[in-house]
């Protein structure tokens, strides 16, 4: 971990948010409205059924999905979405290596999105006077442990993009795919546990939503899932990075 890189990325985010304050503010307001909408819309429906659990579940699913998109996007936006010609070349000149830079950027993005979503969730709860039974710190703790799996997955996609270009189309498809990932149950260990991020969501669901007792072996599955996908991502990306450098494709963006 290089603190100066993390700080640099946080500062970059701040600069960009401030420069594009309109997009930033309208984005935040949109999320706030979605929360408020969820609360009011579902509340009427839920109260009829006398089941407060499903509101928590829905909000939980929404947070999971937005977090998963943010974690995946934190890696891919640098390489796939944000392909300004030549900017990428300069990023490859990072003395700690490009992968390290991307990981720091992704960490900075995830920290910011956690921070923002939590604040907005609380504002929405206060505004609608509807207090969810979700322990945010624990939930985000678990999510941050699970996020590296999506980061690794993003790195694999970026590696492919570096050499084959034109992978943007996969992006739209992936948004839906992430919704699926967030809905699956990967605990206790089953085939779904092999998919990125699934054990993490499942653990968060168990501990935070269902308030079942915490099981150590489940945490180990989450950590293993993260470590394996991140490792796979770094190895795959490094492989494609070399290939791109052989063919001189980095500057060709």
Partner 1 sequence: MLSISGLSKCYKDKHALENVSFDLDRGEIVALLGANGSGKTTTVQSICKLIEYDEGTITLDGEPTHSSNAYLQKVGAVLGGSRNINWRLTAKQNADYFARLRGFSGTKIHQNINELHSALGLDEHSKKEVMKLSTGNKQKAALLCALSYTPDFVLLDEPTLGLDFQTVDDLQTIIKQCANKQNQGLLITSHDLAFIENICSRVIVLHQGKLLFKGDVSALKSKMYKYRLSLQLNDRQQFPLASMQSLWDGRFAITENPETQIVDVHFETSEQSLKFIHHIHEQKISIAELKIAPLSVDEAYQALVKSEKQ
Ligand X SMILES: Nc1ncnc2c1ncn2[C@@H]1O[C@H](COP(=O)(O)OP(=O)(O)OP(=O)(O)O)[C@@H](O)[C@H]1O
Give min distance, CB of 93 to partner 1, in A: 5
Spatial separation of the C-alpha atoms in residues 107 and 114, rounded to whole Å: 11
Choose the contact partner of 4 out of partner 1, ligand X, none; CB within 5 to 8 A by kind: partner 1
Choose the contact partner of 8 out of partner 1, ligand X, none; CB within 5 to 8 A by kind: partner 1
In angstroms, the Cα distances linking 224 to 69, 109, 112, 206 are 21, 23, 25, 18
Dig out the tokens for 123 from the structure: 């504002």
Identified binder of partner 1 from the candidate list 51, 81, 89, 133, rule CB under 8 A? 89
Q: Go through 162-189 and write b for each residue having 16 or more CB atoms within 10 A of its CB, e for each that does not.
A: bbeeebeeebeebeeebeebbebebbee
- Return all residues near 122 (Cβ < 8 A) that are at least 6 apart: 136
Identify residues 127-186 at the interface with partner 1 (CB under 8 A).
none
Neighbours of 80 (CB within 10 A): 21
Report the candidate in 229, 223, 167, 227 with the shortest Cα–Cα distance to residue 195: 229
Choose the contact partner of 84 out of ligand X, partner 1, none; CB within 5 to 8 A by kind: partner 1
Give min distance, CB of 92 to ligand X, in A: 15
Identify residues 10-69 at the interface with partner 1 (CB under 8 A).
11-12, 15-16, 19-20
Q: Mask 224-253, x = binds ligand X (CB under 6 A)? A: -----------------------xx-----
Owner of token pair 């990072």? 94
What is the binding site for ligand X (CB under 6 A)?
Answer: 247-248
What is the binding site for partner 1 (CB under 8 A)?
Answer: 4-5, 7-8, 11-12, 15-16, 19-20, 84-87, 89-97, 101, 242, 245-248, 250-251
């Amino acid at each position: 971990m290089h603190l100066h890189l993390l700080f640099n990325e946080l500062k970059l985010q701040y600069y960009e948010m401030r420069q594009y304050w309109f997009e930033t503010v309208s984005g935040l307001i949109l999320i706030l409205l979605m929360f408020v909408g969820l609360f009011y819309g579902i509340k009427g429906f839920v109260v009829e059924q006398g089941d407060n659990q499903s509101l928590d579940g829905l909000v939980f699913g929404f947070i999971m999905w937005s977090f998963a998109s943010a974690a995946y996007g934190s890696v891919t936006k640098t390489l796939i979405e944000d392909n300004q010609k030549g900017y990428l070349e300069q990023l490859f000149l990072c003395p700690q290596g490009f992968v390290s830079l991307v990981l720091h950027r992704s960490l900075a993005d995830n920290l910011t999105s956690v921070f923002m979503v939590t604040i907005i969730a609380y504002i929405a709860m206060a505004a609608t006077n509807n207090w969810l039974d979700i322990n945010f710190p624990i939930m985000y703790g678990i999510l941050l442990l699970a996020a590296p799996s999506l980061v690794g997955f993003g790195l694999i996609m970026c590696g492919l993009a570096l050499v084959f270009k034109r992978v943007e189309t996969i992006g739209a498809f992936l948004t839906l795919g992430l919704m699926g990932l967030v809905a699956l149950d990967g605990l206790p260990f089953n085939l779904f546990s092999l998919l990125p991020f699934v054990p993490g969501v499942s653990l968060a669901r168990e501990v935070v939503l269902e308030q079942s007792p915490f099981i150590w072996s489940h945490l180990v599955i989450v950590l293993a899932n993260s470590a394996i996908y991140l490792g796979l991502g770094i190895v795959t990306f490094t492989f494609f990075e070399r290939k791109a450098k052989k063919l001189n494709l980095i500057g060709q963006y």
